[in-house]
Structure 1
Amino acid sequence: MSKVRANCRTDVADYLDDLVLTKSPGDQIPSERALVHTLGVSRNTVRAGTQQLIAAGRLVRRHGHGVFVAEPKMIVYAADKKDRFFGSRGIGSFENFRSPVQEKRAGDFLSKLIGIAPGDPVVELERVLCVDDAPMATDNLVVPRSVGRCSAGVRAAACGCLLCTRDFTLRSTSVGTELANSTYATRLRVGIGHPILLVEQIGTHVTEEVLVYRRTRYRADRFRVVLAGGEG
């Protein structure tokens, strides 16, 4: 086989991207040694190009086994109320594991979002959303704790089922990206700097004028987030 001269990691990534098109999900790609020989580049360049496709969700590394063509990305609808994802095998539901409810004081940023004063008490609940026991997203929900603005019943409802947004009307949704810090790298079992899709939502309780803030972080290599559709 004649060598394909690649002079940078982008050339390697382009070569691998074309290779993925000829394979099926789960197929293994050639080893680093084989790619070094085929492309005529250093091992570091092969690793950098491979990492680009891993970060984009086109390839997945299985430690001790090699690099494989990834399954197509799963889709989540930001406005969906049923904790679902949509994949090549149909509709699935996240498993979720809850952390203990935390009480803290609102900072300047959070207080502006949910219409309370800086330093007011809030209740926060965090979940880890999993597929086949593998963590795929973290979900944080913050609701005011102040007496009169948020009754004990509303707090209980918020911490019990609000994360599915069934009891709330969404006011706004935004989608952005960030890189995983050490905290979320640990929770999602990815490397520091791994790309993350960040979904932030503000909602209102249907019976009380209480603003609630929800922040969900999805692994960008496994998901696409769609703003429109998916309600219900």
Structure 2
Amino acid sequence: MNSEVVGGLPFNIYRSDCPNKKGGGVCVLANASFDVRVCKHTKTLKADVLSIEVLSLDSISHVQFILVYRPPNSLKCDDEGLIELLSDLASMNDHIVILGDFNLQIDWISFKTTNSASHHFLKFFSDSGSTQNVNLPTCAKNLLDIVLTTVPLTSAVKQLPPLASSDHAVLQFEIPLYTSTLLLPAPDFLAADFSSLNQYFSDVNWLNLFDQYTSCSDVYYM
């Protein structure tokens, strides 16, 4: 599944799936040259949470990304567990980006809420010292997807059309990252023995090889 998502592009994928139900789940596609560490947790939540740390050239500038999908039918106990986990994760780093679909009803101009769940999350966001950077509705007339940061953005959050069948806007933003890049191996085509490769492939009985498969994907995963 990961190979189908990445499609051979130079990215690593990190996921927190939502098993046995439709919708939900979060994932990150990170440039394969980035030095990334997954911040694991053991809490069982209704929400889906994924936390990764992008390592920088100096340990002071590591940036931690916390991705969240909070279902709209979350109970009070679910929210309390989620806030506790977010608090623990946020305490690990001074440079935090919390983002995702929280399904909250918060007026980010007046900082007023319409329910107790939204009020509790707003208090946590305020206590964490983070800034909410999304100003326009992200799903119909609702601002459900938020980007909270304790580091200044180098660009305003842009809203782009939804991806595929999603009804949520795509959010684009930039933050300063002075990453510790990894050197990735690259094929040396000039040193390849093409004569031997041609001979090897010419000896393969391709008709027999593909005869029992109906698509390239079947062959890829055989």
Q: Which structure's residues are more often strand, by fraction?
A: 1
Same fold (TM over 0.5): no
TM-score normalised to structure 1 length? 0.22
User: Greater RCO between the two (CA within 8 Å, min separation 6)?
Assistant: 1
